[in-house]
Amino acid sequence: MAVANQKGGVGKTTTAINLGAALAEMGSKVLLVDIDPQGNATSGVGIAKSDITHDIYEVLIDEAPLAPAIKHTSRTGLDIVPATLQLAGAEVELTTQIARETRLKGGLAPVLGDYDYVLIDCPPSLGQLAINGFTASDQILIPVQSEYYALEGLGQLLQTIDLVRKHFNPDLDILGVLMTMFDARTNLSAQVVSEVQQHFANKVFKTVIPRATRLAEAPSFGESIIDYDSSSRGAKAYRELAKEVVRRYGD
Ligand code: ADP
Ligand code: MG
């Protein structure tokens, strides 16, 4: 599953980490794949730069095997393929390579049997890295911030998804649109949610992720919200989302 939206700061990484941890808590084996050069998912699950010997860049550019790059995290059942800043070069380097769109798919193929879910944390762009994410996925989860201009850019995202479907991955679907950073104290958040529901109807997840300080704090401790503050609102919301995701995959 790709977690994608070309806007930055909408909650992609927060969702990839915490949905992953919530699924792992339910007993699933989950692989997070960080394809954002910023490496926020990598640091957010507690992997230090100094501990990384292989990363996703080598898989995408050198076609190195992916398995040696997998790292366990402190959350049982949650593994990650880390990204480092060298991935920034991949966006340009991929444009001159053969079969560039399927590099991630090819890298993941040998390990798919080891996991129930693979969550790909996409970068805030619609370039070669995101296209690799979409080509390797059967579902896309789109986090949307409950703020002004929530719908802005989503048309372009849907177009890119259509292009990938047409050329590389006919089975690609949108699993759902997730409203994030919902602020119950403002009318604005509620208005934005209903506007997004008008556009995406039942594609919008029933679970809404609240704006919660604990969610923003957790990554600096290298922990998911499930481990950082298990009884917090954010942890409860991501557990709810995990259940909804499991149900939607079953449908
Ligand atoms: P993206 O990956 O889309 O760029 P992030 O998940 O990194 O977005 O979130 C952007 C910032 O907002 C981060 O600092 C993150 O900790 C914070 N954040 C994300 N979700 C929430 C939330 N529900 N409540 C409060 N802060 C959040
Ligand atoms: Mg991110």
Please give the full DSSP string across 75-96, using - where no structure is assigned: STTEEEE---GGGGGHHHHGGG
Instruction: Using pLDDT thresholds of 50, 70 and 90, give the confidence band for residue 176.
Output: very high
Q: Tell me, what's the pLDDT at 148?
A: 85
Position of tokens 């998804």? 161
66 burial (CB, 10 Å; 0-12 / 13-18 / 19+) is buried
Strand order in the sheet with 30-34: 71-72, 78-81, 30-34, 117-121, 2-3, 139-145, 173-182, 204-210
Q: Is the pLDDT of residue 251 over 80?
A: no
DSSP H/E element including 31: strand 30-34
Assigned fold of 2-250: Rossmann fold (3.40.50)
Q: Is the pLDDT of residue 123 over 90?
A: yes
Q: Is the pLDDT of residue 140 over 80?
A: yes
Task: Please name the residue whose Cα sits nearest to atom 10 of ligand 1.
Answer: 9
ipTM of the complex in this document: 0.99
Q: Is the pLDDT of residue 168 over 80?
A: yes
Task: Please name the residue whose Cα sits nearest to atom 14 of ligand 1.
Answer: 216
- Domain ranges across the chain: 2-250
pTM, two decimal places = 0.98
Q: Tell me, what's the pLDDT at 159?
A: 97
Instruction: Using pLDDT thresholds of 50, 70 and 90, give the confidence band for residue 250.
Output: confident
What's the CA-to-centroid distance between 74 and ligand 2, angstroms? 20
Residue 211 alpha carbon, nearest atom of ligand 1: 24
What's the CA-to-centroid distance between 10 and ligand 1, angstroms? 6
* Distances from the Cα of 155 to the Cα of 41, 158, 196, 241, angstroms: 26, 5, 12, 24
What is the Cβ-side half-sphere exposure of residue 2, based on CA atoms within 13 angstroms?
30
Indicate which ligand has the atom closest to the C-alpha of 147: 1
Q: Tell me, what's the pLDDT at 65?
A: 98
Task: Please name the residue whose Cα sits nearest to atom 20 of ligand 1.
Answer: 11
Q: Tell me, what's the pLDDT at 112?
A: 98
Residue 219 alpha carbon, nearest atom of ligand 1: 16
Token reading at 230? 């298990």
Q: Tell me, what's the pLDDT at 53?
A: 95
Please give the backbone phi and psi of residue 178, each rounded to the nearest 5 degrees, phi first. -110, 120
Instruction: Using pLDDT thresholds of 50, 70 and 90, give the confidence band for residue 162.
Output: very high
What's the CA-to-centroid distance between 4 and ligand 2, angstroms? 9
Indicate which ligand has the atom closest to the C-alpha of 35: 2
Residue 36 alpha carbon, nearest atom of ligand 1: 2
Indicate which ligand has the atom closest to the C-alpha of 228: 1
Q: Is the pLDDT of residue 171 over 90?
A: yes
Residue 181 alpha carbon, nearest atom of ligand 1: 23
Mean pLDDT computed over every residue of the chain: 96
Q: Is the pLDDT of residue 175 over 80?
A: yes
Q: Tell me, what's the pLDDT at 149?
A: 87
DSSP H/E element including 118: strand 117-121
Give the N- to C-terminal CA distance of the chain in Å, as an integer.
15
